[in-house]
Structure 1
Amino acid sequence: MNAIVQDFAEHWPLYLSIPLVAALIGYVTKVIAIRMMFAPVEFRGIKPFLGWQGIVPKHAAKMAGVACDTLTQQLIKPQEVLDRLDPERIVAEVEEPLRQTIEEIVREVASAYQPGLWESLPRSVQRAVISRVQADAPRLLTEVLAEIKSDVDNVFDLKDMVVTSLVRDKELLNRIFLEAGGKEFQFIRRSGAVFGALIGVVQMSAWVVFKVPLIMPLFGLFTGWFTDWLALKMIFHPRRPKRYFGLFEWQGLFHKRRDQVAEAYCDLIAQEIITPRNVIEAVLRGPMSDKVMALVQRQVDDELSRRASITKPLLVLAIGGRRYQDLKQRISELLMAKLPETMGYVEDYAADAMDIRNTLVGKMKELDAEEFEELLRPAFREEERTLIATGAALGFVVGEAQVLLLEHLAP
């Protein structure tokens, strides 16, 4: 015992460095583990095995699908996104750009299908024709929007819109996890240092007493593994406050911060994903846009039939039945092509009317603990073992380096 005390007194600065290094191991392994979750966004290295891609970007489709399942099944439905929009108010908001759009369509169609006749008309007559169509356009657009609202599930795929946005923009997918779980990641890093230092005290004691070289790498391995495992456990468990040893109470940090997490998550979803611009694009250019196109074609056909009921036979005779069908198709295509830009003028009104952020926050308060956990848990669950194993391996390597240093400086 005297020899041990004397040895410690002689080399105490070196021995005290052991818990400091253990704390460093705990901290650094957490920083690396978190970094490995999100970076790099694209694979770096030599495929297929020599290199790395962040876990979240690598599994972007799956991660986005899981996040979207919670979003679209528990938080908001496609009908809720569009239900609050008033077709008549939308038409009023886009009245001026709609007039310009209609004029461009009339001129293009007339020049294409009756170029000689259209060009020969006096400008006042051309203007009168354009004004007549412009006067009818608001009613046509109102009817189109009303039909879209009445059959949302067949013309708007909310899940596809969300998944497509997140898979296309992996940085945005990373932000969802990083911003919603910012405090949790900070806790992981800090807890790694604290737990590492505590383990390091035991490690130091074992080395001072036994001086067995295997102690250092084994403790380094244990530090890297245990601090990773414990930090992840403490983030999500227990889901409700629980007292331990009668001394202190703990609740999984993610669940304890439920309100703050909900606000960060919903802000990002409302500002970056379920936006008026994205919804308009999804309806008019998404995977179900062919159904919207068919709806527009039907409205155009009805409108032409209504306005040309007497002259329609003459019109068909003049340009031919086939060209008449092509004309209706061309009008519908031009409307579909120009509507996204025209509808862009309604974004401010739509954002206020849909109120996505507050709707999501309200729905998140209704989730049970397990459903709420699924917002962030997929980012950890996908390759949790890989992250923990990486921490253990790094700890082992650093522990081995400690042995060489200690044997050299305190033989």
Structure 2
Amino acid sequence: MIIRRGSKCQALGMGCRRFHMAILAVFSLGVVPTRALVYLSRSQKNFSARWAPSSPYVSQSPLLRYVQKSTCIRSIRLVTTMTDGSDDFKENWLSRCPECIKLAINKFKSRPSAYLLIPAVAAFVGWFTNYLAVQMIFYPIKYRGIPLLRWDEQPLGLLGWQGIVPCKTRAMSDTMVNMVTTQLLNIEEVFRRLDPAVVATLLGPEVPKLLESIANDALPQSGVAPKLFRALFFALPGRMISTIAGLNRSFLEGLTVGMQDNIGALLNIKNCVIDQMMQDRSLLGELFKKCGQKELDFLTNSGLWFGFLLGIIQMIVALFWENPWALSIGGAIVGTATNWLALKWIFEPVNPTRIGPFNLQGLFLRRQNEVAKEFSSFFAKNVLTSEKLWESILNDPSTKPTFDHLFQNHLRKFTYSLAGGFGLIPGARLFTMFLAPQAIAKLPNHLHVLHPYVDKTLGLQATLQRQMERMTSAKFERVLHPIFEEDELTLILAGGFLGFVAGLIQQGIETGYLWEWLSKRRDWCRKLVGRKGNDSEKH
């Protein structure tokens, strides 16, 4: 091995030469930073090998010629010195640190714009990956892509994507309804708030209109029904009007009490909510966004600050380490870390935790009262409204037979009492069999008079808000967290992938390959445009 001689240099033995070549092999693979300090000791004599740029090689060995061509090490100078045995490792390391920093500063000065772009690009990557993660939670509502292969209730297809919330609406709605019915609402207690007398007063004037509508449809037909309807609506004696009004009121009050006693069998809250969410898959997303808008904004904006801080670390690594792939790997770390950190900060710690002077708790959990107000308002005004509840009672296959049976029983009492007053008892049964299905079918057209009273009296918004404010932090955390838990790993990995792509761009900027590639594409476009111009001139 040939060594450049100086005042304190001498040739090394063959054994030391092999050891040095092994060290060079490690450096050539890029395992150790190119400007690291390597210290060797032999026979109480310290040897130091220093890597520095822009210096000639001092060996002609094939190994060093290979190292010269390595992309990880641009230039090498091997200086071997024999120093006094009293110099220790720490003193040698400290004496060379300022030179490492000086080299990094010189490297930064040579291309400051390229290195300043690294934290800027990292900040954009952090913001963009988090923004895209939020969009992927809620959009698109319907699957977009090529439906070659899809899995049930999985947002990711072979070549496409559907928003996590729209894709998993049924499962998320089921979880939410279980929380509402077991912890927030007692359906039986809520419906006991309705006053049957008020319901009868409001709905009473609609009963003649309902019967008249049925009669108008039935008049062209022959049989007992047309004669009965004509007698009721066109030939009523004055003395019977008060009797009919009393029977009508009794019928409505009895029906209301019967519904209150059997509301558990008449109203399936789970089906009511899930059916609405499935009909409009954007509804559940709107609820989650209304409750967690501040957390979603934090998730997006935090990527900017986390990305910038991690980008500064990337820049420092790039200044001290020649391996350009550090930027791509760093980009993947930035994308993954920003998504992971933001998700953790939203929901953890669940319970307030004091660390020194700081009291830490998840951002979402700190806003329990505010979220309770937003959730209860949206749920009461858009999901559990009087109109939606009646629609579920009258149309849900699991509850409709029960309501039909209850309605027929009370209608039979009404018609028998009414027919008895006219002496038409023999036709009461036939009248009930004909009237009940028609009345149930037309009932939704006359319930609009009840909706304001029912919405106000049930007081679902106040009940939901009060109960939600009383929830423990652990239970309250389950209100919003499920939408992130469903595909939390997917969101984090997506951030890592996009960060890696952005790191490749950073790598191209740092090495100059990106500008070279863009320059070639620009020249190619100019040549193409010029060629087309020449062809057009010839023609």
Structure with greater contact order relative to length (CA < 8 Å, sep ≥ 6): 1
Provide the residue aligned with 2:322 in structure 1: 211
Provide the residue aligned with 2:427 in structure 1: 315
Provide the residue aligned with 1:36 in structure 2: 136
CA drift of 1:97 comes to 2.6
Asked if 1:97 corresponds to 2:206, the answer is yes
1:199 to 288, 310, 329: 310
Asked if 1:262 corresponds to 2:375, the answer is no
Pair 1:127–1:309, CA change in 2 (3 A) = closer
Pair 1:91–1:252, CA change in 2 (3 A) = same
In 2, Cα distance between equivalents of 1:331 and 1:217: 75
CA drift of 1:179 comes to 0.8
Letter matched to residue 75 of structure 1 = L
In 2, Cα distance between equivalents of 1:236 and 1:69: 21
Letter matched to residue 417 of structure 2 = R
2:119 to 15, 19, 22: 19
Between Structure 1 and Structure 2, how many residues are aligned? 402
Provide the residue aligned with 1:372 in structure 2: 476
Asked if 1:298 corresponds to 2:402, the answer is no
- Identity over aligned pairs, percent: 28
1:252 to 354, 362, 367: 362
In 1, Cα distance between equivalents of 2:373 and 2:469: 11
| Superposed CA offset, 1:348-403 (max 9, x none) | 11111111111001111221112111110110000110110000000001101111
In 1, Cα distance between equivalents of 2:181 and 2:215: 40
1:347 to 436, 447, 451: 451
1:158 to 269, 272, 279: 269
In 2, Cα distance between equivalents of 1:177 and 1:34: 12
Which stretch of structure 1 is more off in the superposition, 48-57 or 301-310?
301-310
Pair 1:121–1:352, CA change in 2 (3 A) = closer
Structure 1 length-normalised TM: 0.91
Asked if 1:363 corresponds to 2:467, the answer is yes
Larger radius of gyration: 2
Q: In structure 2, the residue corresponding to 1:249 is in which secondary structure?
A: strand
| Superposed CA offset, 1:178-199 (max 9, x none) | 1111000011111111111111
Provide the residue aligned with 2:166 in structure 1: 57
Map 1:111-126 → 2, pairs under 5 A? 112=221, 113-114=223-224, 117=227, 124-125=234-235
In 1, Cα distance between equivalents of 2:407 and 2:488: 49
- Structure 2 unaligned blocks of 5 or more: 1-99, 150-157, 517-539
In 1, Cα distance between equivalents of 2:225 and 2:453: 40
Pair 1:81–1:110, CA change in 2 (3 A) = farther
Q: Decide whether the 8 Å contact of 2:212 with 2:233 is kept in 1.
A: no
Provide the residue aligned with 1:224 in structure 2: 335
Q: Decide whether the 8 Å contact of 1:111 with 1:119 is kept in 2.
A: no
Pair 1:314–1:165, CA change in 2 (3 A) = closer
In 2, Cα distance between equivalents of 1:116 and 1:76: 47
Structure 2 length-normalised TM: 0.70
Pair 1:122–1:260, CA change in 2 (3 A) = closer
Pair 1:127–1:188, CA change in 2 (3 A) = farther
2:441 to 331, 337, 340: 337
Give the structure with the higher percent helix: 1
| Superposed CA offset, 1:189-218 (max 9, x none) | 111111111111111000011121210111
Letter matched to residue 24 of structure 1 = F
In 1, Cα distance between equivalents of 2:104 and 2:478: 52
Provide the residue aligned with 2:184 in structure 1: 75
Q: Decide whether the 8 Å contact of 1:102 with 1:134 is kept in 2.
A: no
Letter matched to residue 203 of structure 1 = Q
